[in-house]
Structure 1
């Protein structure tokens, strides 16, 4: 398998830091899987509510987030690996704020659904 270009830049970081970065990536992947499982649960177990299509919209949002998160997680992992190879600081990301905000909004939507249904 061909390695990305940045893998040839700089020098190999301490393997402990690379493994820590990989564990963080895997945590984001677990979060993505949980979002996808949540989408399935919403469609299968949430009763049809008075708000037509709400269940489908919530499930679609969860599925979209669960599908987009692995891509964002890989990009984040690669940026951190590259920064470590070049001796730079860890790059800033809005990923955590975006996921937190999206999950808070989806959670609020679920609460509304629980009271309406």
Structure 2
């Protein structure tokens, strides 16, 4: 059993050659930044609902759900993005595009519009 077979996830590490450590560490920092973003979305969604602000209840709940679901999806997309990027680094291939930026742009805009509507309609 080789070293790359024992590393997790094997689906990434069994491909190609070991890249420059600086690139792998930068990829990991990017992954951790997306995880922090997911935690902030989760905290915002929970706070929006738990604080019971004087907002339209159904719209407040909808905005909270958009934020919480976005947090879950951001975590999953961050992991997928880390794996795809690490594999590309190991294969000396072009880096894959990120789906996180457009996804989060839409999600945060939707949550913001729901909160705005809930303020207007209260």
**Does the TM-score normalized on the shorter chain lie above 0.5?**
yes
- Alignment partner of 1:104 is 2:109: yes
**2:54 corresponds to which residue?**
47
**2:79 corresponds to which residue?**
74
C-alpha displacement at 1:53, in angstroms?
A: 1.6
- Alignment partner of 1:9 is 2:18: no
Q: TM-score, normalized by length of structure 2?
A: 0.85
**1:88 corresponds to which residue?**
93
2-structure distance, mates of 1:6, 1:34: 28
Runs ≥4 in structure 1, deviation > 6 angstroms?
A: none
C-alpha displacement at 1:109, in angstroms?
A: 1.7
2-structure distance, mates of 1:5, 1:53: 43
1-structure distance, mates of 2:26, 2:112: 30
2-structure distance, mates of 1:111, 1:87: 46
2-structure distance, mates of 1:28, 1:6: 19
- Which of residues 34, 39, 58 is equivalent to 2:40? 34
C-alpha displacement at 1:73, in angstroms?
A: 0.3
C-alpha displacement at 1:40, in angstroms?
A: 1.2
C-alpha displacement at 1:101, in angstroms?
A: 1.4
Q: TM-score, normalized by length of structure 1?
A: 0.89
Alignment of 1:50-69 (within 5 A): 52-69=57-74
C-alpha displacement at 1:48, in angstroms?
A: 4.4
How many residue pairs match? The answer is 115
